[in-house]
Amino acid sequence: MWNFAIKLLRYMSHIHNISSKTLDLKTIYTIVAEQQKLALSDESVEKIKNCRTYLDEKLKNQEDPIYGINTGFGSLYNVKITKDNLTKLQENLVMSHACGVGEKVPKNIVKLMLLLKIQSLNYGHSGVQMDTVNRLVDFYNNDILPVVFTQGSLGASGDLAPLAHLALPLIGKGEVYFEDAIYDAETILSKFNWQPIKLRSKEGLALLNGTQFMSAYGVDLLLESYKLSYLADLIGSVSLDAFDGRIEPFNELVHLVRPHNGQLQTAERIREFLDGSELIQQKKKHVQDPYSFRCMPQVHGATKDTLAFVEKTFITEINSVTDNPNVFVAEDEIISGGNFHGQPLALALDYLKIAMAELGNISERRIFQLVSGLRELPTFLVDNPGLNSGFMIPQYTAASIVSANKQLASPASIDSIVSSNGQEDHVSMGANAATQAYRLVANIKSILAIELFNASQAISFRRPLKSSEFIEAFLNAYSAQVHFVSDDRELYKDIEASKQFIEYLAIDIDELYG
């Protein structure tokens, strides 16, 4: 989903060292864009080894139950497991919890899940052995991506079912993507001369307890949402010029007296986009524009501020330990807690859904204004309306998508359901929020593609006046793929071409945070 331009010095030769250094969005984008390989830092290796050694020593003389290490799981926490069955216990956990159904998770998100799981295990509080983490790194570096399913996680106790599918290939079970095909994991292990990992005490829980399903979706969605937020400003600027709108509502003075960061940033962007436009500078017959134009800084800006909040939440999460129990070597403590609970992510994902849905909502209103025969634009943006329906139905399509987004934006986090015989009696439903957000954000791309289709058509009726140099260059690139509509034709092809234009449009990643 990421198609931003980035300044690269070299491709394929870079290695990202997993460490305690904060993993942020730009770093993740660079890892993916440059197709960097992963390696564990010396710091990470030492922490992982020390934690495993501590746990092994602890278990030698441990008779008391320690949850998930020598006990059953969930409501079976009181069932003590003998030492000679600890490996079988962990393997049974992985196999029994791999109950995912529904659509397959996109491969780029599965790869993010691997990255984020490795990051979480590197802090040395999870008790995993080096062989396990090294194998996850091998999977990542060789594009061996476990087949994971979208449904099955309650977003508490970790993303149990999705992460079980992520872990299955470690023990030679399940399926993986490799070279654009799906294979039994056992086949791929054999191809690389790898033996299945023999999971040791605690490792199954370390792999399954965690929020990497929700987190991977969140990271992917943030990067895509930042791009669409930028495009909403740009396409909205094209619509404003096409509608013969006014520039005064974007004056910095207006926004300095209500200085929300996103509002200030949006107004500044739109001023920059329209700088030098003949259309925006011409004398106006009207004194005010509809809210969908005039209030872009306030509406688009609120979405930007939401994205900043969501980003803060996810950056904290992906640089955290989210399995259970947590092992504290220096303090000689093994503590069962609840860091796997996805409530912070569920709330953030629901907030992201609402904020991004609003970008689509206001975009559709601008589409409606453009096709309404106002301000000397032809009705439905076509010559001979009546004989031609023109852009009548693209607005219907956008309206339909907006309505669907309102349904998707309903918060998943307000729901909960009891599981594991009442032991796990409150869950976040963050995984449902994640998959809903994925569909919703994809819908925003479609709505903005329709707005751009309309705005490009509308601005053609303003010739010979021109917009800014920046917007004219943008529209020239667009019109090479999506041509002016003189007479009715199969517009779904144009909408798809418009979506493709947005999909592959290169934007410097620094612009997205500008």
State whether residue 298 is helix, strand or coil. helix
**pLDDT the model gives residue 420:** 77
DSSP output for 301-329:
HHHHHHHHHHHHHHHHHHTS--SSSEEET
Q: State CA 443 to chain mean position distance.
A: 14
Contacts of 43 (CB under 8 A, 6+ apart): 19, 20
Q: On the CB side of 248, how many CA atoms lie within 13 Å of its CA?
A: 8
DSSP-assigned beta bridge partners for residue 104: 149
Quote the pLDDT of residue 421: 73
Q: Which of 241, 243, 272, 267 is nearest to 254 (CA)?
A: 267
Give the burial class of 417: count Cβ atoms within 10 A of its Cβ; 0-12 exposed, 13-18 middle, 19 or more buried: exposed
| SS3 of residue 333 by DSSP | strand
Please state whether the peptide bond connecting residue 385 to the residue before it is cis, i.e. omega within 30 degrees of 0: no
pLDDT the model gives residue 4 = 44
pLDDT value at residue 405: 97
Structure tokens at 333: 């403590």
Kindly report the number of other CB atoms within 10 A of residue 27's CB atom: 13
Q: What is the pLDDT of residue 72?
A: 58
pTM over 0.75: yes
Determine the Cα–Cα distance for residues 321 and 333; give it in Å rounded to an integer: 15
Phi, psi dihedral angles at 354 (to 5 degrees): -65, -45
pLDDT at 416: 83
Query: Which residues are annotated as catalytic?
Result: 67
Cβ 323 vs Cβ 209: under 8 Å: yes
User: Of 178, 283, 162, nearest to 214 (Cα)?
Assistant: 162
pLDDT for 81: 61
Q: DSSP letter string over 72-137? A: -SGGGTT-B--GGGHHHHHHHHHHHH---EEEEPPHHHHHHHHHHHHHHHTTS-S---HHHHHHHH
Q: Please give the structure tokens belonging to residue 466.
A: 């021109």
Q: Which helix (H) or strand (E) holds 335?
A: strand 333-335
Closest CA to 68 of 416, 337, 458: 337
Across the 514 residues of the chain, what is the mean pLDDT of every consecutive 10-residue run? 43 79 94 95 97 91 70 59 74 93 97 98 96 98 98 90 97 96 97 96 92 97 97 98 98 98 98 97 95 98 98 97 94 92 96 98 98 94 88 96 97 87 82 97 98 98 97 97 94 97 86 64
Beta strands in 383-443 (DSSP E): none
3-state SS record for 193-258: CCCCCCCCCCHHHHHHCCCHHHHHHHHHHHHHHHHHHHHHHHHHHHHHHHCCCCCHHHCHHHHHCC
Dihedrals φ, ψ of 452, to 5°?
-60, -40
| Paired residues of 335 in beta bridges | 326
C-alpha separations of 492 from 476, 489, 498 in Å: 21, 9, 10
* Distance spanning both ends of the chain, measured CA to CA: 21
Q: What is the CA radius of gyration of the chain?
A: 26
